[in-house]
Amino acid sequence: MAVRAHVRRREQFIGPVRFVRAVTGAPVADAPDVDDRGFGMGTRPGTWGSSNARGAMVGITKGDTVRVKVDRVDLDAGAPLYLTSTDTAVASIVAPAGGGPLPADGVFSVRGVEDFKNRPVKIQVHLGAADGPVLGELEPHIFTERGVRVRVHFCTINGTAVMEGGSAIPAATGRDRAAADAMFSVVNGIWRPAGVRFRVVSRRNTTVTLATRSTHITQSLQGCVAIDNSNNGMVQYYELIRTNRMVGTINVYFVRRIWNTQEADGGGTLGLGLTVVDRTNYGVILADGANENDLAHELGHVLNLDYHAGGDIGHADDVSAGSNLRDTIWTRRRLMYAFRPTGFVGDGSPAYLTDVGYGAYVRGSLITVKNTTGDATDGETAEARRRARSLP
């Protein structure tokens, strides 16, 4: 399998193959992003166990068959490769039949059979035959699906007309039921590897004139939830999030725009999400300019993916204690990276940062399975599943 080496007193592993996402571009439900960030496996929740694998992890919802790719990093294209599972009662190879040989594109299919606690499994790549030398290992985690209830609000926000491009911003969101359902279909594909499914159980039209004022927020803006950068700059968020609220449910409010009153053009905020730790105020406000990745990202905030280390960490790329700003391919691939788009044309980003596998300047959808040492924002799958178990 991987070769162990010591470089400047630090242990390193070198492997001729690696496991990666089976597709590029937009998220696909049966082609999850693989958590291939290094050979270290990090810490695990007590029920996950440890397979002692060296390499990547991937999440699979119980009963799903997903595609993963073996990338020949330093191996001849004609070398025959075979795949095996160390416990077929947990995860089994579906294709290629018999585990090999692996097709030229390197894509194979694995089924998550059962969510057995403390019963880890490894998918191994062998050279030449199913019992040949092991060149690489993938540790899948099989998760029983956890449903999260959602109420969708189609908001009309009445107030002082705001001029944009010579015409007033409409008061009502431009989204309808069909658009919302289509968005959640994509969102659920992004969250599928974590075994989390958002179920829209209620839809309603919500009409309001926002009355709260604070610092730069001095009026109700038609079609907009106003924010500013002060300590009390979310007052209109809190007012809306408490309107027609359904308990035990993530309330998602579609609005025309989110308007930063301290920016001349209202700014570019696309979504606001507050952690479920705030038991009476958690939820999402999403502007019409946002896409499915933005909605999935804000739902990540609700499931505590910025607070779970014990404080308001923020995003995957934010500076935390004892670490430097992380703005690498590993970070830009993560759903909880701060920015979408991830950069701008002409910002000087090298090609490997411009496209991390989802398209030019597109934030990825990786929800981390590993929990690596020194990263306070890591271990997202375990935390999200814990918070999805029950909502206050």
Please indicate, yes or no, whether residues 200 and 345 belong to a single structural domain of this protein.
Answer: yes
* Non-local CB neighbours of 10 within 8 Å, separated by 6+ positions: none
Domain that residue 343 falls in: 146-388
Please indicate, yes or no, whether residues 64 and 152 belong to a single structural domain of this protein.
Answer: no
Query: Which phi-psi region, left, alpha or beta, contains residue 312 (left: φ > 0; alpha: ψ -120 to 50)?
Result: beta
Please indicate, yes or no, whether residues 116 and 211 belong to a single structural domain of this protein.
Answer: no
Please indicate, yes or no, whether residues 248 and 372 belong to a single structural domain of this protein.
Answer: yes
CATH number of residue 119's parent domain: 2.60.40.1080
Q: Per-residue pLDDT averaged across 5-13, rounded?
A: 49
Please indicate, yes or no, whether residues 109 and 166 belong to a single structural domain of this protein.
Answer: no
Domain end call among 110, 143, 176: 143
Please indicate, yes or no, whether residues 231 and 181 belong to a single structural domain of this protein.
Answer: yes
Please indicate, yes or no, whether residues 223 and 101 belong to a single structural domain of this protein.
Answer: no
Domain end call among 84, 118, 143: 143
pLDDT recorded at residue 206: 97
Domain end call among 143, 161, 181: 143
Please indicate, yes or no, whether residues 155 and 125 belong to a single structural domain of this protein.
Answer: no
Please indicate, yes or no, whether residues 158 and 128 belong to a single structural domain of this protein.
Answer: no
- pLDDT tens digit string along 253-295? 999 999 999 988 898 899 999 999 888 899 999 999 999 999 9
pLDDT recorded at residue 13: 56
**Alpha helices (H) along the chain:** 177-191, 235-241, 292-302, 329-332, 351-354, 380-388
- pLDDT tens digit string along 298-318? 999 999 997 655 555 567 776
User: 293 with 355: CB under 8 angstroms?
Assistant: no
Number of domains, the chain: 2
